[in-house]
Structure 1
């Protein structure tokens, strides 16, 4: 089979490999599309230690070709979306059966827009932040795949005012189509907000952005930290100050959840998938690449020139 390998020199190469065989609790997927996501930049840049050469790719969409021990054989042929620990950038990929969800009649390409971003956005809004009717919400990285889904989930949860923060004007123009009430450029945050405070802040940035966010929480507000796009610099919070104002600093780690409680993550995948299938939430695939162009796609994501969701066409 054809597969993309990340080699020891940090370059991606298309090569021929043997097709993998599913083990207990796994399925083998004949991949049509694979989602490109921030984890790809982390692996490429060495932030996640993996032995190379390595077949990356954490989101696979296609049809189940074979199942391992303990998996219902009737699933063979089922169109699915799957969350993987590696290997999605190949013609055949292995995935845990529990994190492989049937997509019904949803087009494969559309399903490729969900990946890890959809359950992450759903959990940020519904589980971690518990957005309530009338809540004011601030979303950083508002033009990315998580941000553009989170704003839609927040609106469905009854959020009142939703503000997004983006890196530049082009990203603001793109994000505007998803229903934000206001969009700010990163350099305008927080000055342009005046004294406004928020019930919920979704923060994948970290550093000074996170410290400012904690100061911008309304009474009983919740800041959910789910990444460190800007810096790994530690952010210290005064628990006595949080207690005095009833505010909370919550963290969310979808990768950890997939390893410790995969059934919870799978439930969020199904819930997000249902909202996309019935048209209440829209995924937006803005770029599609061939296997040989994966390096270009990951670099564009790392540089911040990507908006929405990018996918790799495998077959």
Structure 2
């Protein structure tokens, strides 16, 4: 079958590889579209060490073509989005059956775009920070896949004010269409906020941004950390200061969740997709690439050349 392989030289190349066969508890999904996500960048740059050659791609949508032992055979033919640890940039991908999530009411292209970003954004708003009616929310990387969905999930949850932070004025214009009350550029943050504080803050950035976020966290506020786009250098936080203000700093690791509590991740994905299906939120796919152009798609994400969500057409 056709696939894209990441070699020891950090280059992505089209290749012919053996079609995988599902083992116990697995299904094989014939891929129509695969989503491009930050995990692809981390693998390419060596932050997630994997044996090379490696078929990347961590989210794919299509139909179940075969099932392994212990999986209900009636699932063959079901349209699903697969949340995987690799292998998505190929014509067939294997996935644990629990993480082959039904996409009823959502077209296969949109399902691929939802991928990991939909359950991640949903959990950050609902499970981690517990946004509710009247809350104010600050979201970094507001024009990305998670950020555009998180703003919409926050609005559904009843947030009274939603502020985003992005890398440029052009990205600010893009982000505003997803319900943000105000969008700042990185240069404007945090100065333009004055003394404003927030009940919930979503931070995938790290470094100085994380420190500034703590300064703008309201009493009883919740800061959710789910990445380190800017730097992997640790940030020291005083738990005594958090305690005095009733504040919480929490982390979210969807990759870990997929391995330790996959049913929880699948449940979040199902709830998120239901809101996509009924029109409450939308996944905005802004770029579609051919399988041979995976390297370009990942580079565009890494350099900030794309907003919203990029996908790769496989079928």
Indicate whether the TM-score tops 0.5.
Answer: yes
Q: Distance in 2 between matches of 1:104 and 1:148?
A: 22
Partner Cα distance (1:82, 1:313) in 2: 15
Name the SS of the counterpart of 2:187 in structure 1: helix
> Is the CA contact 2:31–2:314 (under 8 Å) kept in the aligned structure 1?
yes
> Matched residues in 1 for 2:43 and 2:240: separation?
37
Q: How does 1:1-315 map to 2 (within 5 A)?
A: 1-315=1-315
Instruction: Compute the TM-score of the two structures, normalised by the length of structure 1.
Output: 0.99
How far residue 113 of structure 1 moved from its aligned partner, in angstroms, is 1.4
Contact 2:34 2:113 in 1 (8 A): no
Deviation at 1:110, TM superposition (A): 1.3
- Distance in 2, matches of 1:271 and 1:223, equals 23
Per-residue CA deviations over 1:216-272 (Å, capped at 9, x if unaligned) read 111100100000000011111111111111011011100000100000000000000
Gaps of 5+ in 1: none
Aligned partners of 1:247, 1:296: CA distance in 2, in Å? 41
Q: 2: CA distance between counterparts of 1:217 and 1:248?
A: 9
Secondary structure class of the residue paired with 2:53: coil
CA deviations 1:122-171 (Å, max 9, x no partner) are 00000000001100100000000000000000001010110000000110
Shift of 1:106: 2.0
Q: Distance in 2 between matches of 1:103 and 1:136?
A: 31
3-state SS of the aligned residue for 1:22?
A: coil
Residues 266-293 of structure 1, C-alpha deviations (whole Å, 9 max, x = no match): 0000000100001111000000000110
Q: Indicate the RMSD between aligned Cα atoms, in angstroms.
A: 0.6
What's the TM-score, normalizing by structure 2?
A: 0.99
Q: How many residues align?
A: 315
Aligned 8 A contact 2:80 2:102 in 1: yes
